[in-house]
Amino acid sequence: MTTQGLLVKGTHGEDYLLTTEANRGMRTHRLVVLKKVNDQWKSVEGTEELVCREGLIGAFVDFFVDLCRVLNSSGHQQTSETASIQQSSIGCGQLVEPAVLPQGRT
């Protein structure tokens, strides 16, 4: 399997993809934000890109932290992580601090 990027669903059902692309003429890569419009991925540009990129990186960090919690938890202590997506001023999903809700023990 290969990773194409991080797919995040916005508050109004829109799909955002955080991915990388090679900088032209350089041996570096940069982060790119894409939004699905009419079943095609379109680049998000300008200030909207900056806000979306920040929110998507935050979502990735929260997901990674949750993954670490799952990997470090024992079978007797299960928790459910929920996160709310809030809309920022220009329409990109932004992840809010997840709330930990305990589940019944098995």
- Per-residue pLDDT tens for 19-56? 988 887 778 888 899 999 999 999 999 998 888 888 88
Count Cα neighbours of 11 within 13 Å in the Cβ-side half-sphere: 15
3-state helix, strand, coil in the chain (%, to 5): 25, 35, 40
pLDDT for the residue 3 = 82
Q: How many domains, the chain?
A: 1
Residue 105 reports pLDDT greater than 50:
no
Tell me which residue has tokens 């202590």: 77
Which structural domain range is residue 25 located in?
6-98
Residue 26 inside a domain? The answer is yes
Residue 1 inside a domain? The answer is no
Q: What is the pLDDT of residues 85-104, one digit of tens each?
A: 444 444 555 443 344 444 44
Residue 22 inside a domain? The answer is yes
17 within 8 A of 36, measured Cβ to Cβ = yes
Residue 103 inside a domain? The answer is no
Q: Span 50-66, mean pLDDT? A: 90
Q: Span 53-64, mean pLDDT? A: 90
Q: Span 72-91, mean pLDDT? A: 51
pLDDT for the residue 33 = 93
Residue 17 inside a domain? The answer is yes
Residue 48 inside a domain? The answer is yes
Q: From residue 5, how far is each of 2, 21, 88, 90 by CA, in Å? A: 9, 10, 22, 22
pLDDT for the residue 61 = 92
Residue 105 inside a domain? The answer is no
Question: In the 8-state DSSP scheme, what is residue 23?
Answer: P
Backbone angles phi, psi at 68, to 5 degrees: -60, -40
